[in-house]
Amino acid sequence: SRPFGYPADDAPLSCGAHSLTKLAKRFGTPLYVYSGDQMLERLGLFQAALAHREHLVCYAVKANSTLAILKLFAERGAGFDIVSGGELERVLAAAPEAAGRVVFSGVGKTAEEIDRALDAEILAFNVESEAELALLAQRAAKRKRKARFALRVNPDVFAETHPYISTGLREHKFGIDIREARRIYAGAKGNRWLTPHGVSVHIGSQIRSAEPFGAAMMRVAKLVKQLSQDGIAIKTVDAGGGLGIDYHAAPGFDPKAKVAEYAAALEGALKGLDVQLLLEPGRFLVAQAGALVARVLYVKRNGKKTFVVLDAAMNDLIRPALYQAYHEIVPVAPRAGRAVTVDVVGPVCETGDFFARDRKIKPIEPGDLVAVLDAGAYGMAQSSNYNSRPRPAEVLVVGREAKLIRRRETLADLLGPEMV
């Protein structure tokens, strides 16, 4: 289920027809390499699993917001889930024709962001508080544009994942208590600038089981029925994102079965309801399609430990440092010999700057290339310039073509906005 492999025994790791050795030579390191083919294949899995119901897959832009990736998805009919004016601008730049397929989530939308989204005539706002709904009504009236909205309800279901990325409990900052929703929809009914359009929910990220998605959707379905009794016809139900991947045993991971199981859980809850189903997957579409390719600068020993120092660092991929996330690391051109136990680290001046700790990997020497796998989601999107490090370049492989979709940053890019 990964698009990276060794085409022959002594061939280097490749993405489609492209060896990572050659791509690294051509574009330098650290380098993000993505398989656009796999991204589209994953999108297709969701679209096929929902074929019997009216649906729209709104790719969660935050997972990887590089323009060429947005364009790739837009061309296959995807919509987008955005959480800022910046992400809206990205969608409009990459695929202006997709503006009507955008949903706008997030707890802190500003008046300016709302205005821009109203003018772009996005599909719907996923509203996260009563105060936000009041602001939306006010901006819509001012601009004389009707705002379609969904309340993002908090279903109070527990989803087993990392505490930083679990969102569906009452104690989290997200959404509106589902017990309050009926009253708020009723209040909005009379406002000529607000159109109650949907109900949305998002319970967290990297959730491996379909069960909590089904449980949340049951509560949403119940609300949709109550609203219909109140004379409010809900057109869309947005199940959010969050379907997890397998960062460990990826070869045994069956994405098609996962998506089918997920779709069945949602469908089970929505049975008999005539609504369009929106999804907001991010990670599942792009994580496994991407690798961060880096060069080994040094191999050093401190006491009992061996450190492999890469030219990539936590500023390029922060997931291990931030969530203790596991990412598999493989040599691009494997050497013969016994596996060694090492820490794989970057050059940033923090102990937390690591990609792996006490990891058994194939023998490795300075100058070798390694690939940090499953880095397509929340990798480049969460990168920074910490330690004044320019961000990596990105390459997208589609069919036989490998295209540079973002050039490496230069030091001039970094210093540009500043004045002495």
Which residues lie near ligand LLP (CB under 6 A)? Answer: 60, 63, 81, 105, 165, 202, 205-206, 240-243, 280-284, 319, 323, 377-378, 382
Given the complex with ligand LLP, which of 145 and 172 has the nearer CB atom? 172
Confirm whether residue 350 is marked as ligand binding.
yes
Confirm whether residue 242 is marked as ligand binding.
yes
Could you give the residue ranges of the DSSP H alpha helices within 162-313? 178-189, 211-229, 255-270, 283-286
Catalytic-residue membership of 349: yes
Neighbouring-strand partners of residue 212 = none
Given the complex with ligand LLP, which of 147 and 317 has the nearer CB atom? 317
DSSP 3-state of 54: coil
User: Within 13 Å of residue 194, how many CA atoms lie on the same side as its CB?
Assistant: 26
Confirm whether residue 319 is marked as ligand binding.
yes
Closest separation in Å from C-beta 290 to ligand LLP: 12
Bond before 30 cis per omega within 30 degrees: yes
Confirm whether residue 152 is marked as ligand binding.
no
Confirm whether residue 347 is marked as ligand binding.
no
- Sign of the CA dihedral 59, 64, 70, 75? negative
Given the complex with ligand LLP, which of 18 and 319 has the nearer CB atom? 319
Given the complex with ligand LLP, which of 14 and 129 has the nearer CB atom? 129
- Sign of the CA dihedral 64, 67, 73, 79? positive
Q: Among residues 349, 412, 419, 420, which one is catalytic?
A: 349
Closest separation in Å from C-beta 165 to ligand LLP: 5
Residues 6+ apart with CB under 8 A from 63: 282, 283, 285, 286, 287, 376, 377, 378, 381
Closest separation in Å from C-beta 14 to ligand LLP: 26
Distance CA 245, CA 243 (A): 7
187, 288, 317, 414 from 378: Cα distances, Å: 38, 11, 8, 21
Closest separation in Å from C-beta 285 to ligand LLP: 8
Residues with active-site annotation: 349
Binding site members for substrate = 283, 319, 323, 350, 378
Binding site members = 242, 280-283, 319, 323, 350, 378
